[in-house]
Chains A and B, each alone.
Chain A
Amino acid sequence: MVATYRAALIGCSRMGAFIDNEVVGNASVALPYSHAAGYEACPRTDLVAGSDIRQEVLDRFGERYGVGVGHRYLDYRDLLANERPDILSIATQPEQRAQIILDAVEAGVSALYVEKPLCASIDETYRIRDAVRAAGVALNMGTNRRWQPGFRTLRSIIDTGGIGPLRSIVVYATGTLFNTTSHWFDITQYLCGDASPTWAQGWLPGSEHLVDGDVVTDEPNGSGAYGTSTGVTVHFLRTPRPNDIEVIGDHGAITAWGAGVSFTMRARPAAGGGWADVPYPDHPKSSSTLHLIEDLVEALDRGDTTTAGGIDVAVTNAELIFGFIESFRADGRRLNLPPVGSTARFHRSGFQARTPRFVASA
């Protein structure tokens, strides 16, 4: 008989449970998108409990996903003690995430699905890494696009030499560094074969006032570049272009338009000749959240921690975030990675979480 894993959710708001209501009809997203909806759709998981610090959010979550009052917790530590989940989702704000991850590992959770960014400092990043590795926990971070079929196809084209040796990736990002650029860091990490970044040069355009000593007081805009051990340079340009990604090899280039809504490819024969449009392979749209959860389920089935994401990928993502911040703090100087001495930390004063959209728009 196939095992069903007990899943629980800490942080039952937008990405935890209700963002599906905001993205109906969004061409770049295949539902289910929230953690809870992913567990609901996955035949191998049962969503058994939830925790949130806001009573209304907790109750609406319970009502929507059929989680009884006795399994709803205002204090996540009670959830960990009482429910003993196999898989735990942590979809809180980043400032709280590190302690919850560490507590979850301590409580014996076998698999973690944590939202991005991983946490709020490099020190926290390495404490999480050490704890997760020591406990043998499978971890995937919610930078979902590495599980999105269009990008998996793109990676396959790169791996099979379809555009020649990969040289550059250009991301036209429009979002903020922690919440959104973390997505673009991750998809570029993935497309580079998760090769180690060796340097970063970052700037926080228009957000210079948000760095107060060691404290980043709100979500900054991020732009800059990093280089990998394989010689690829990845550029993040803050422009009004809506999250287009250009992947450039010696004899081919692929553009992922609008965060992967569609893909186009141009290539020329390796032996020489002109560039021409090449049909991009079909890639049926399906839920990246569901694939991410299935990836964790398979790791649990095998009893190992190998996934398409993993703690090392999540750590690298955080190193890129703080590499950009530390480069900015060094007046834009190119810095070697990892930024092991980083003292910066993300701490928003007076942050007010949004109320999720509890029902879908008509």
Chain B
Amino acid sequence: MTQRTWRVAIIGSGRMGGLIEDELPPRGFGMPYGHLSAYRAIPGCEVVAVANRGEDRLKRFAARFGIERTYLDYREMVERERPDIVSVTTPSFARAEPIIHCATHGVPAIYAEKGLCGSLAEADAIAAAVRENGVAFNWGALRRHHDGYRQVREAIARGDIGEPRHATMWFFTDLIKHHPHTIDIVAMLLGDPAPSWVEGRLIAPDDARVAGRARPEPTYDPETYRFMPPQGHEIADPHVDTFRVGYASGAEATFLPFGRFELDVVGTEGRAMAWENGGHFGVRRLAPKRGTVSETTFTPQGDSPTVCTIRDLINAVETGTPTRGNLDVTLPSVEVQFGVAHSHLVGGRRIPLPVVDRTLRIPGG
């Protein structure tokens, strides 16, 4: 049987589009990590074109990676190239429009980076466009596709820790660009229960933890109902202090603003662990009647999370089955993100989800 060819186009010629490997060790379970290199690792995938609004960056990217067809307007690229898959790797403040355009102009599969968009109203519009057009969709919250985390999830689903009751996530980062990683993986390990409330705070702009950063913290403008980028920047992505999420299952999660991307899920009979950003996966189980403790560790196998994300997308197109990172599991994480901001703006008060107000704008990275 002849292998099908998948024509791929990338919108955004930046870091996740293809340059992130420059920042990472050349080998390791996460590689290939960027969209371009991951597509090139999958037989049958061909990156045929790239679009970027900045010409210099687009040219450098195309020259470095040998991509012949380049576009300053992604609309033109979609029309001419008729891609099977489009990666949208722009900043989140500029992501909704290309996602919606692709979904409504015949692109069958979209791989969108995170954060998803700049407001919940945009998230609603994305959801409508993707669902109405039957588009296969995956989000760049990669750990959902990481075999180590997947083995931990399977152990939890088997009942190895009893009923999962509480997740603790340790990581200090910004709300829109990077907290999708924490919120999404916590939800995945808990079995994707619907989040029912969130409460939390953003850090103060003068917090010592962000002192000296190249991009200062944004400010909030109540007049325009949006977070404002610092002078000379386009991105307004506030760092987050502690926040908590309650789920319809009765489980809760606490997100603590320190640590090295570590995660515990505590259940009624044991504890699942994903420590040191993929460095250690395990389940520790208590047998109360015997008074014994057993620990099982997991070693990730197979392809990198980015490659798995793409393979999952292809499988969805071929079989019609939902992707693992489809909008039903992605949108609740976006609700949590914006819920944190809403909670912060009312002093940390608990906010029921989904958030009623859809207009607050956070033009994140």
- Chain A interface residues toward B at CB < 8 A: 167-168, 170, 172, 201, 203, 205, 223, 225, 233, 235, 237-241, 248, 330-334
Q: A168-B258, A223-B244 are in contact. List 4 more A-B contacts (CB 8 A).
A: A235-B256, A332-B199, A334-B201, A334-B348
Choice from A167, A168, A203, A240 contacting B166 with Cβ under 8 Å? A240
B209 (CB) vs chain A CBs: closest residue: A167
- Please state if A330 and B349 are interface contacts (CB–CB under 8 Å): yes
Known contacts: A235-B242, A240-B267, A241-B271. The answer to whether A332 contacts B348 by CB under 8 A is: yes
Known contacts: A225-B242, A237-B166, A333-B346. The answer to whether A167 contacts B258 by CB under 8 A is: yes
A205 (CB) vs chain B CBs: closest residue: B252
Which of chain B's residues have a CB closer than 8 A to the CB of A170?
Answer: 168, 256
- Please state if B168 and A332 are interface contacts (CB–CB under 8 Å): no
The answer to the question of B249 belonging to the interface, with a C-beta cut-off of 8 Å to chain A, is: no
Which of chain A's residues have a CB closer than 8 A to the CB of B165?
Answer: 239-240
Please give the distance in Å from A325's CB to the nearest CB on chain B. 15
Which of chain B's residues have a CB closer than 8 A to the CB of A168?
Answer: 256, 258
Please give the distance in Å from A220's CB to the nearest CB on chain B. 15
A235 to B169, CA, bound (A): 13
Known contacts: A225-B242, A240-B268. The answer to whether A203 contacts B256 by CB under 8 A is: no
A239 to B349, CA, bound (A): 21
A168 (CB) vs chain B CBs: closest residue: B258
Choice from A167, A233, A239, A330 contacting B168 with Cβ under 8 Å? A239
Which of chain A's residues have a CB closer than 8 A to the CB of B199?
Answer: 201, 203, 332
- Chain B interface residues toward A at CB < 8 A: 165-166, 168, 199, 201, 242, 244, 246, 252, 254, 256, 258, 266-268, 271, 343, 346-350
A-B contact pairs, 13 of them (CB 8 A): A168-B256, A203-B244, A225-B242, A235-B254, A238-B252, A240-B166, A240-B266, A240-B267, A330-B347, A332-B348, A332-B350, A333-B347, A333-B348
Which of chain B's residues have a CB closer than 8 A to the CB of A201?
Answer: 199, 201, 348
- Please state if B266 and A233 are interface contacts (CB–CB under 8 Å): no
Main secondary structure of the interface of A (DSSP, over half): strand
A206 (CB) vs chain B CBs: closest residue: B250
Main secondary structure of the interface of B (DSSP, over half): strand
Choice from A223, A248, A331 contacting B349 with Cβ under 8 Å? A331
Which of chain B's residues have a CB closer than 8 A to the CB of A248?
Answer: 258
Please give the distance in Å from B242's CB to the nearest CB on chain A. 6
Known contacts: A238-B166, A240-B267. The answer to whether A334 contacts B347 by CB under 8 A is: yes
Please give the distance in Å from B204's CB to the nearest CB on chain A. 11
A203 to B200, CA, bound (A): 12
Please give the distance in Å from A208's CB to the nearest CB on chain B. 10
B208 (CB) vs chain A CBs: closest residue: A231
- Please state if A239 and B348 are interface contacts (CB–CB under 8 Å): no
Which of chain B's residues have a CB closer than 8 A to the CB of A333?
Answer: 346-349
Which of chain B's residues have a CB closer than 8 A to the CB of A205?
Answer: 246, 252
B271 (CB) vs chain A CBs: closest residue: A241
A170 to B257, CA, bound (A): 12
A201 (CB) vs chain B CBs: closest residue: B348
Which of chain B's residues have a CB closer than 8 A to the CB of A239?
Answer: 165-166, 168, 266
A72 to B277, CA, bound (A): 62
A238 to B242, CA, bound (A): 15
Which of chain A's residues have a CB closer than 8 A to the CB of B252?
Answer: 205, 223, 238
B163 (CB) vs chain A CBs: closest residue: A240
Which of chain A's residues have a CB closer than 8 A to the CB of B346?
Answer: 331, 333
Please give the distance in Å from A30's CB to the nearest CB on chain B. 21
A201 to B267, CA, bound (A): 25
A223 to B258, CA, bound (A): 19
Which of chain A's residues have a CB closer than 8 A to the CB of B271?
Answer: 241
B260 (CB) vs chain A CBs: closest residue: A275
